[in-house]
Structure 1
Amino acid sequence: MTLPLVVGADGSEASLEAVAWAAAEAVRHGVPLHVLHAAVGDHEASDVVRTAAERATAAAPAVRVSSEVVHEEAISSLVGKDRSALALVLGSRGLGGDLPGLLLGSVGLAVAARAHCPIIVVRGAAEHRDARFGSIVVGVEEGEGSDTAVEFAFREARTRHCRLVAVHAWNPRFGASPTPEVPPWYALEAHRRPPAQVLDDALRGPVERYGDTLTSRLVIDGPARQALVDAASEADLLIVGARRRQLVAGLQLGLINHALLHHAPCPVAVVPRT
């Protein structure tokens, strides 16, 4: 069975931008697009899904669109689709106006923390949403926390026929001798695994499987949040991984994930580690 791309629609302009982005993405992947609207009552619900479907077909005439209105709160309705969706797509802000500026709303943040499938928050100006840069950025962390995200990024780059930039950021002080701020085990691990080696190890398998994908490696001395935001300034999509919580359902969205969901200059995908 072909899993659809599911996009949340609430009538806001941000959600319609997400619908348009998701429609183009669905066509790229050859999958259907399912528009989901959560409504407490029937008032204007049909208008919301009709407008969303029209925006989808305007953005990608070849897209196969279905729609659904569910009578429950938005977070539960979206998370309830996570096991039957290729990914969940959300706008950067909803009608609730949770926070000022360009910050992600509370619904989007809650869905990103609870879903089992990749979550894509559509952010940024039109040039970032319309795939004009021909580049995807993926964040690579120490260890195996990024393995699923890297695989996702390679598949996305192949589908889009674009360049992939793998970014690993590290703090230079962690490569020095142990100090009260730097535990001995971390300093030893940094010494054994130079930053460039972290990238090489993470990319070795995917590069063999996706040999036709143009791949660049970028090692940054500095905070990961700023490194990824800067790298994504000329990208169509930013991809990061997230570990699952051990004791409760959901994902461990750390400071980096939160910062990118709120401030990334382009659409950002959070990919749960499997």
Structure 2
Amino acid sequence: MEAERRRRIVVGVDDGSDSALAVRWAAAHAAAVGLPLHCVYAEFNPYTMAAGDAGIPPALDLGMSRSDTDRVLSDAMRIASEVAPSLDIRAHAEPASPATLLLGEAKMSSLLVIGNHGAGVLSDLLLGSVCGTVAARSACPVVAVRSRLTELDQLAPVVVGADGSEVSERAIEWAHKFAAWHDKPLRVLHVCRRGRGDLDQARAYTEQLLDRCAHPGVPVSTEFVDGEPAEVLAGEAENAYLLVVGARGHGVASGLLTGSVSHALLRQAPCPVAVVRKQVVLQPV
């Protein structure tokens, strides 16, 4: 029953350019896995809703534009249908903050897709309040999509970061499935912080894990690197189709810690980033 209830892809939409990118990405993924796509829009009014609603500082909300709900949703459905004409596409809006709406939708979804507004002081605050909050608390994996500056090779891999923890096990498991869904090679990058890891032990552990979750037809390469995880993975993201990372994420604060690898990569990586929390439910497709 739980698995059936979650068999849909959800994308959060607004009137920004990253929203259109997120819809295109979500539609392509929904078509690849054969699931319906739900486009959701938060009708947020800071004058009528509680200032403490999850993830939105009131001072920032007062500067957000009011979008026409029907236009935003119809544009999202049109963009999705252009990507996948036969896709089952639905749309709805709710009176809530973006973070609150998306976290609620995540409880009924197999994947949540959102736009990533990139770098800068203002977007750092917005990222911490919406994208970071959702990634840290979501009940399903989250993909943050941003525009790329370079064209991507068709053989661009799915890259997943590993560190030998239970958190990275979940990330590797999901990344393996994603690579199979999209017919992409998988690149597993096991990063040990400088001087703080046993690469031989890490190699044995990661290879055993890959044997357990292998998907036929998915080429897999592994590399074991001594370095800073965020720095190494951000470099790999330059040529990645998708970067997958794990996160512990036990609450709002987890998404706001600037030192966390997943949060740093949401800010820095030039490709879409998937965050798979230890606590999420992974759905078979």
Q: State the TM bucket, normalised to the shorter chain.
A: 0.7 to 0.9
The answer to whether the aligner puts 1:18 opposite 2:40 as a matched pair is no
Q: Which residue of 1 aligns with 2:267?
A: 262
**How far apart are the structure 2 equivalents of 1:251 and 1:131?**
34
Gaps of 5+ in 2: 46-65, 280-285
Change in 2 beyond 3 A, CA 1:174/1:52 = same
Give 3-state SS (helix, strand or coil) of 2:166's partner: coil
1:54 equivalent among 78, 86, 91: 78
Deviations 1:141-168 (A, max 9, x none): 1232211111101111111111000001
**How far apart are the structure 2 equivalents of 1:53 and 1:131?**
28
Structure 1 runs of 4+ aligned residues shifted over 6 Å read none
Give 3-state SS (helix, strand or coil) of 1:174's partner: coil
The letter for the 2-side match of 1:117 is C
The letter for the 2-side match of 1:7 is V
TM-score, structure 2 length as denominator? 0.80
Instruction: Report the alpha carbon displacement of residue 58 of structure 1 after superposing the two structures with TM.
Output: 1.4
Instruction: Report the alpha carbon displacement of residue 196 of structure 1 after superposing the two structures with TM.
Output: 2.1
The letter for the 2-side match of 1:152 is W
The answer to whether the Cα contact below 8 Å between 1:7 and 1:34 also exists between their aligned partners in 2 is yes
The answer to whether the aligner puts 1:218 opposite 2:223 as a matched pair is yes
Instruction: Report the alpha carbon displacement of residue 249 of structure 1 after superposing the two structures with TM.
Output: 7.6
**How far apart are the structure 2 equivalents of 1:25 and 1:236?**
12
Aligned length: 252
Instruction: Report the alpha carbon displacement of residue 65 of structure 1 after superposing the two structures with TM.
Output: 0.6
Change in 2 beyond 3 A, CA 1:13/1:244 = closer
**How far apart are the structure 1 equivalents of 2:144 and 2:194?**
31
2:31 equivalent among 27, 30, 34: 27
1:107 equivalent among 125, 130, 150: 130
**How far apart are the structure 2 equivalents of 1:262 and 1:120?**
13
TM-score, structure 1 length as denominator? 0.82
Instruction: Report the alpha carbon displacement of residue 44 of structure 1 after superposing the two structures with TM.
Output: 0.8
Instruction: Report the alpha carbon displacement of residue 131 of structure 1 after superposing the two structures with TM.
Output: 7.5
The answer to whether the Cα contact below 8 Å between 1:115 and 1:250 also exists between their aligned partners in 2 is no
2:87 equivalent among 63, 66, 73: 63
Gaps of 5+ in 1: 176-189
**How far apart are the structure 2 equivalents of 1:98 and 1:112?**
19
Give 3-state SS (helix, strand or coil) of 1:11's partner: coil
Give 3-state SS (helix, strand or coil) of 2:195's partner: helix
Instruction: Report the alpha carbon displacement of residue 24 of structure 1 after superposing the two structures with TM.
Output: 0.5
Q: Which residue of 2 aligns with 1:231?
A: 236
Instruction: Report the alpha carbon displacement of residue 206 of structure 1 after superposing the two structures with TM.
Output: 1.2
The letter for the 2-side match of 1:23 is A
**How far apart are the structure 2 equivalents of 1:8 and 1:163?**
28
Counterparts of residues 170-181 of structure 1 (less than 5 Å): 170-175=192-197
Q: Which residue of 1 aligns with 2:139?
A: 116
Q: Which residue of 1 aligns with 2:158?
A: 136
Q: Which residue of 1 aligns with 2:182?
A: 160
**How far apart are the structure 2 equivalents of 1:131 and 1:77?**
35
The answer to whether the Cα contact below 8 Å between 1:140 and 1:168 also exists between their aligned partners in 2 is yes
Q: CA RMSD in A?
A: 2.7
The letter for the 2-side match of 1:16 is A
Q: Which residue of 1 aligns with 2:13?
A: 9
Larger Rg: 1
The answer to whether the Cα contact below 8 Å between 2:30 and 2:36 also exists between their aligned partners in 1 is yes
